[in-house]
Amino acid sequence: MFDSIRQKVGVYQTESGPYALLRPIGGGREWEADVSQLRPPTDRERLSAGLRAANERSARWSGTGAPQQLRRVFRYVPFTFPQDPATEPAYAARCVSGEAACCGAESGPCEHPAQVEDWLLLHAQETRHLWYQRTFTDWTVLERSEEVPGR
């Protein structure tokens, strides 16, 4: 749960009156949090808390169990997945109905979902087939986002 007073993610342990007991991800001292100030953490908050715990574990212990200097640091690097502007998405459908075997008829690539739906209706009228696999294909170029949580 995310404690909005402490701005911290914790693992819910139990509830006592108006307070919930939360424990830091990765272990540590529990704290009391006002139940009315708790909410589920966002994916970024949960990931940041997990990475923080991994970094703390890495800093505290070596493979032999003895304290050591920090050997590695994990960082969350956000990326976005925008559609490649140089390409167009493609829509298609394939008939997977049939008595003994799959019909296999295909719409071929279409530029708009409505074209696929037109093909589906026409094929269903001609064959009475009712089961189809629809596909959507697009291309993306991974882009590193400048927004970093917690900064």
Are 59 and 96 in contact, with CB atoms under 8 Å apart?
no
Domain ranges of the chain: 2-60, 80-151
Judging by DSSP bridges, how do beta strands 19-24 and 31-34 pair with one another? Answer: antiparallel
pLDDT tens digits, one per residue of 81-106? 888 888 899 999 999 998 778 899 99
Cα 4 to Cα 33, 78, 108: the distances in Å are 9, 23, 51
pLDDT tens digits, one per residue of 41-50? 998 888 888 8
Overall pTM > 0.85 = no
The terminus-to-terminus CA distance of the chain in angstroms comes to 20
